[in-house]
Structure 1
Amino acid sequence: MSLTDIDLPGDATPATPVPTTVPSRPAFRVGRLSLVRRTAMTAVTLGLLALAFLLLCVNIGRGEFSIPIPTVADILFGGGTRIERFIVMDVRLPRALAALLTGIALGISGAITQSILRNPLASPDLLGITAGASAAAVTLIVVGGGGTFVGALAVLGIPLAALVGGIVTALAIYGLSWRGGVQGYRVVLIGIGFNAALIAAIQWLLISADINDVARAQVWLNGSLNGSDWAQVWPVAIGVAVVGTIAVVSSFTLGALRLGDDNARVLGVRLQAGQGVLLLAAVALAAIATAAVGPIGFVALAAPQLAMRVLRTPGPPILASGLMGAVLVVGSDVIARTILPVELPVGIVTSALGGPFLLYLLVRTNRKVSV
């Protein structure tokens, strides 16, 4: 018997059955934690993780004393001979890990800035944050301990000076962009202006400096992984672990911020506090990466966009963007170190690969505006 077969008194009309809402994705619950299972997204993310580990093994294995990839993996998990462990663990692993961690930091940083500012061109290297870190480091390299300000930087050392320079630049950009809130295009325009001014200041420092200091600064400015050791790896690892965890935990807030300010408020997000924490995390990650190995261009710009296209998500995914950044930096280091006739700093390779991608984004953005 159906609803239409039931006799209803008076003018009553048959009741229509209430449709049952079927969730498009199954839920995953552990206690009070409720998540949505995205099988395809999880599989692609695990694929990026496997690719990053494979490139890490390739990067470690390539060199004058070549080691097969299975042997490298075995050594990383405790196997291998004594000489093989020395080559892998003491000589090559620090550089490879520096590349991996730097890529993760830049990828997550770019994903956060692009999501909050809702602009695919918003990345630390285009907004002036990387240039601020570079300006502080080059000032310390070129001027040395002269002057009160530079003397304070000399106490910090190049990595910490670069970190302070990036954070101070970001605070200045944020302060000048504030008009009752943060507007994406305002931040981008002010950041581009800061970037141009800081690059001009760096060039002036290089022109007026001693030739030996200039050579040292140029190597650092090209984003070189040469000479990376465990003393450089551990600070980056700790910074990425702490700040990256904060960024990943805040991914739910980031997803709400992508919907716009009004929708984020409706969803219960404290707008300015959420934006402030995430932007601070993005700045810290970019400054940490720059402080460790120097400025590596276009990774923070390209990694989130590539991850978004591979996973087909509406916005840059944080974890996948970090893994994509690791793939780009480690892969570029393999190219710079072993494939090219002359070994080059990894920043030159990433810039050569990222330049055409920037042009693609500009053309694509222009077409959207035209439509």
Structure 2
Amino acid sequence: MNDARSSNDTANGTASSVTARLRDLRRRQRMRSLLVTLTLGILAATLFVADLAFGHEIYPIGDILKVLGGEFVPGLSFTIGELRLPRVVVGLLAGFAFGVAGVSFQQMLRNTMASPDIIGITAGANLTAVFAIIVLGWSGPSLSAAAVVGGILTALLTVRLAWRGTFSTGRLILMGIGVAAALNAATSWILVRGDQWNIQQASRWLTGSLASSDWSDVPALAAVTVLAAVPLIALARQVDVMRFGDPMARGLGVRVESVQMTVIMLSVLLLSTATASSGPISFVSFLSGPLAMWLNGPHRPAIVQSGLVGSCIVLAADIVAQHIPPTQLPVGVVTSIIAGPILILLIIRLSRKQVLA
């Protein structure tokens, strides 16, 4: 009896110790996640103000804060409020949207390479935008609407081609790569047939730029960013459970197909709207997720953190694009230059993991 009681006490003590360790681990993970979020938020706010301050003239931070607070400052209210502020707000929102859309795809498909840039969504928005510019002569809201519709239709086509009675993430990625190749070829064909002025306009749009941003771009982008990001944040836990496999997720009460389709459509809507506002700023959706997950720690949803990383990348790239080179560059050129080496390092890292496995 005494031996049995001693064994029970030992087992209970071990269980209590494991529970305490798990509780302590979760607490430290939550603290790390909160610290990362606050740090990224402060960095995004700093880059936001810096992007407003730097230009042909560098304005004092105090005067900029007065303008942001609604106070009229002679000489600054127009320059900051009407010229620089719309550009920076669009950059902040578009970067957040790119980051959230990218990490949502990557976590749902359980593949770091499965960003919207890779699986064709951006290519669909690009094709319809180029068609609207060169063939239809559209600009402004009509052009933005065309890009959104193109991204959504491409997503529906890719999902339909990948569907074989069930949802396969590997098949979706492969189909997306094939669809992207076909759409990029069609985009090139339309560019070849356009006149010089339209080709220049389409090329600027395809590069990804904040130069033509104005206040008309902000309401739709802000509304879609909020309305799509909030459900994606709410679904992050269920998406995280799916990393154990679809059967396990179903056993834990996750409606796998419903969650997958919801994440896909919300992410596509986010990506298409951001692309319509700023053009396809390359690799932001691809880079934001891995960086955020590395900062946030393993097996932690990083939706908000990825959005903030996306905002920081776009704002930092905009500052560099405007002031470092001899002539101003589109933001997408800078993000592509940054992303190239990181992409190579990421592929090497993934290859080493596969070899070790």
Structure 1-normalised TM-score?
A: 0.89
Aligned pairs (5 A) from 1:79-118: 79=71, 81-118=73-110
Asked if 1:53 is matched to 2:38, the reply is: no
Contact 2:206–2:279 (Cα < 8 Å) also in 1: yes
Asked if 1:368 is matched to 2:318, the reply is: no
The one-letter code sitting in structure 2 at the alignment partner of 1:83 is G
Contact 1:136–1:165 (Cα < 8 Å) also in 2: yes
Aligned sequence identity (%): 38
- Residue 232 of structure 1 corresponds to 217
- Residue 245 of structure 1 corresponds to 230
Q: 1:131-185 CA distances to partner (integer Å, 9 max, x unpaired)?
A: 100100100111117xxxxxxx899711010000000000111111112322222
Aligned pairs (5 A) from 1:341-356: 341-356=326-341
Contact 1:107–1:299 (Cα < 8 Å) also in 2: yes
Contact 1:111–1:318 (Cα < 8 Å) also in 2: yes
Q: Which has the larger radius of gyration?
A: 1
Q: Distance in 2 between matches of 1:69 and 1:118?
A: 43
1:36 Cα deviation from its structure 2 partner: 9.5
Aligned pairs (5 A) from 1:13-28: 14=6, 16-17=8-9, 18-19=12-13, 20=16, 21-22=19-20, 24-25=22-23
Q: Distance in 2 between matches of 1:228 and 1:362?
A: 34
Gaps of 5+ in 2: none
Contact 2:236–2:301 (Cα < 8 Å) also in 1: no
- Residue 63 of structure 1 corresponds to 55
The one-letter code sitting in structure 2 at the alignment partner of 1:138 is V
1:26 Cα deviation from its structure 2 partner: 6.7
Structure 2-normalised TM-score?
A: 0.92
Q: 1:334-356 CA distances to partner (integer Å, 9 max, x unpaired)?
A: 10011221101101111111121
Q: Distance in 1 between matches of 2:7 and 2:196?
A: 87
Contact 1:223–1:346 (Cα < 8 Å) also in 2: yes
- Distance verdict in 2 for CA 1:44–1:273, change over 3 Å: same
Which has more helix, going by share of residues? 2
**SS of the residue aligned with 1:212?**
helix
1:27 Cα deviation from its structure 2 partner: 11
Aligned pairs (5 A) from 1:1-371: 14=6, 16-17=8-9, 18-19=12-13, 20=16, 21-22=19-20, 24-25=22-23, 38-79=30-71, 81-144=73-136, 157-314=142-299, 317-371=302-356
Q: Distance in 2 between matches of 1:13 and 1:300?
A: 57
Count of paired positions: 350
The one-letter code sitting in structure 2 at the alignment partner of 1:67 is Y
1:323 Cα deviation from its structure 2 partner: 0.3
Q: Which has the larger displacement, 352-361 or 39-48?
A: 352-361
